[in-house]
Structure 1
Amino acid sequence: MTERVGVAAVIRARLGECSPGERKVGRALLATYPAAGLETVAALADRAGVSAPTVLRFLSRLGFGGFPEFQRVLREELAEREISPLAAYAAAPGTTSSPLSRAAEVLPGAVAGTLTDLPEAELHRAVRLLSNRQLRVTAAGGRFSALLAQYLVFHLMQLRGTSRLLPAGPVERVDALVDVGRRDLFVLFDFRRYEASTLELARTVTHRGARVILCTDRWLSPIAGLAEVVLPSRVDSPSLYDSFVPALALLEALVAGVIDELGAVAQSRLAAIEAASQPYL
């Protein structure tokens, strides 16, 4: 099934065109998304420190006909966020098309949509952070998305160094987190059926001054309210499992950007790695 753009992603994309008061509403929504959107207009206005008409003007700017419509769409989105492969299997209609033809139909559009929907400025912010060699990069993900974290870290190890996966073992994990501070950058991968442990990690490291890049889906992980940069990917799939193919394409764009940003630094490091590897080949 082809995805529509999530409410949180629309809010982030439109904040730049809003009035100061409207931006307060958008940030209040993102900070405790989606719970803040399910409150009353008065409660949301109080949370944002604005008037109720400002809340309604903001929703109108996003294209909603009113607060009831906004909440209806939000509730529909919540149902989609929580769907499991088992539930998807039970609800899916039968199909006679082959897996190959379904993949050819779905995946190219999902990749293209992911790359064209993402604002250039957001990608550039992520590239600049990842290219800052004064920052120590730590990446972490969930049960499946940890593979994406590992893929990114392997590239960063070669291009800039000072990059690592967050260890899974409790002793090693504590050692990796105990000295976290303002010179740390975390790249967190969190996709729907979001993991509470990843959210708690984001809260802990941002409280200590670390910065966060979030890679997530169109519904946006709750970590979006804590992240400096949010990189959403589509998850359209030829199967009942969400696809990480679009997210992988986004990582390829990130890596290409880091190579461009580092220039000769990346080239020199790659040459040194090649030389150091020779005795072991």
Structure 2
Amino acid sequence: MGVAALIRQRLGECSPAERRVARALLASYPAAGLGTVASLAERAEVSAPTVLRFLSRLGFGGYPEFQRALRDELAERETSPLTAYRAAERTGAPPAGALPRAAATLPDAVAGTLAELPQGELDAAVRLFADQQLRVTAAGGRFSGLLAHYLVLHLMQVRGGSRVLPSTPVERTDMLVDVGRRDLFALFDFRRYEEPTLALAREVTARGARVVLFTDRWLSPVAGLAEVVLPSRVESPSPYDSFVPTLALVETLVAALIDRLGPAAGKRLKAMEQAQQTYGGS
């Protein structure tokens, strides 16, 4: 688990002063934790001992250990497929064949993602997606945009009022111009985080929209703006990060949403089937 994910997981155990430290860290992560204890205390408007008590609650033996963890995490966050490929070359040949590597990696990554996901975060996400008064817009990056589309295809089936943010400027502008408090954004952002996604999150939250973030265990900078954060592991049999665990998380969310909606989800599915027969398409 990354440091930011650990902070969010332990937030409910903290005192009000310690929560101010947590919010200060998450609002400017990880930069806020790379300065001195005094600078972090000033940013959070607490005392230096409060900062140290908070880090102790997280399991760190002191501020130097906390900063080492942040620096290690920074190196991991910047990993690209090329650097992962070169690292694999330096460390020697992987286990023979992609199939054994996948069998050894992907099941653990999925199981770890679901085991580490705080139940409260999943419940909060389901409550938001179940709110029919909220219009859902999903967006992602070059690869994670596929996950955004996959989520919306399911939401169309079970609750309606859902769309993918288009990439063309005119359509995108038309969709964003009226954003407000009745909007919910599902954003997908993974390491080598994309600045346009952060800019989008800043703009829509400033207008009162809410954000559910799907990200990796190091947490996208969007986490400081999101109401709900759903992290996934990304271990993979190749130099590319895997989205298999995130796909499992999306399907778990959809299953929980159907449970919460109850008969309304069945009614919507029936209407969609009838409309498909009427209007054609597959």
Q: What letter corresponds to residue 235 of structure 2 in structure 1? A: D
Please state how far the C-alpha of 1:61 moved relative to its aligned partner.
Answer: 1.1
1:6 lines up with 2:2 in the alignment: yes
Counterpart of 1:71?
67
* Counterparts of residues 180-219 of structure 1 (less than 5 Å): 180-219=179-218
- Retained in 1: the 8 A contact 2:136–2:183? yes
The separation in 1 between residues aligned to 2:60 and 2:272, in whole angstroms, is: 54
For structure 1, the residue ranges without an aligned partner over 5 or more in a row are none
Counterpart of 1:21?
17
Q: Deviations over 1:235-281 (max 9, x none)?
A: 01011100000000000110001101111111111111111111426
The separation in 1 between residues aligned to 2:95 and 2:155, in whole angstroms, is: 43
Q: Give 3-state SS (helix, strand or coil) of 1:185's partner.
A: strand
1:156 lines up with 2:155 in the alignment: yes
The separation in 1 between residues aligned to 2:251 and 2:83, in whole angstroms, is: 32
* Counterparts of residues 1-281 of structure 1 (less than 5 Å): 5-92=1-88, 93=91, 94-279=93-278, 280=280
Q: Deviations over 1:43-93 (max 9, x none)?
A: 100110100010011111111111111111101100100011111111113
Please state how far the C-alpha of 1:96 moved relative to its aligned partner.
Answer: 4.0
Aligned-pair Cα RMSD in Å:
0.8
Identity of aligned residues (%): 73
The separation in 1 between residues aligned to 2:94 and 2:35, in whole angstroms, is: 40
Q: What letter corresponds to residue 197 of structure 1 in structure 2? A: P
- Retained in 1: the 8 A contact 2:180–2:204? yes
Q: Give 3-state SS (helix, strand or coil) of 2:229's partner.
A: strand
Runs of 4+ in 1 over 4 A off after TM superposition: none
Please state how far the C-alpha of 1:105 moved relative to its aligned partner.
Answer: 0.6
The separation in 1 between residues aligned to 2:68 and 2:16, in whole angstroms, is: 26
- Retained in 1: the 8 A contact 2:95–2:101? no
The separation in 2 between residues aligned to 1:187 and 1:257, in whole angstroms, is: 16
| Corresponding residue pairs, total | 277
TM-score by length of 1: 0.97
The separation in 1 between residues aligned to 2:143 and 2:125, in whole angstroms, is: 22
Q: What letter corresponds to residue 43 of structure 2 in structure 1? A: R
Q: What letter corresponds to residue 39 of structure 2 in structure 1? A: A
The separation in 2 between residues aligned to 1:233 and 1:122, in whole angstroms, is: 13
